[in-house]
Amino acid sequence: MEYLSTTVELVIGFIALLIMTKLLGKSTLSQITPFDFISALILGELVGNAIYDQQAKLGIILFSVALWGLLIYIIEWLTQRFRGTRKILEGKPSVLIRNGHLDRQEMKKNKLDINQLQHLLREQKVFSIREVAYAIFETNGTVSVLSKSNYENPTKADLQVPPTAAYLPVTFINDGHVDWENLEKFGYNGEWLMNKLRKYGIEEYKDVFYFEWKEDEGEFIERM
Domains of the chain, first to last = 2-88 (no CATH), 94-151 (3.30.240.20), 170-223 (3.30.240.20)
**DSSP bridge partners of 170:** 213
Query: Tens of pLDDT along the chain (224 residues)?
Result: 566 766 766 676 667 666 666 665 544 444 556 666 666 677 666 666 666 666 656 676 677 777 777 777 777 777 677 767 666 666 678 889 888 899 988 888 888 888 888 889 998 888 888 888 899 888 777 888 888 878 777 766 667 777 777 777 888 988 888 889 888 888 899 899 999 999 988 888 889 988 998 888 888 988 88
Nearest to 173 by CA among 128, 132, 130, 212: 212
Cβ neighbors of 113 (< 8 A, separation 6 or more) are 107, 174, 175
From the number of C-beta atoms within 10 Å of its C-beta (0-12, 13-18, 19+), residue 60 rates as: middle
pTM flag (> 0.95): no
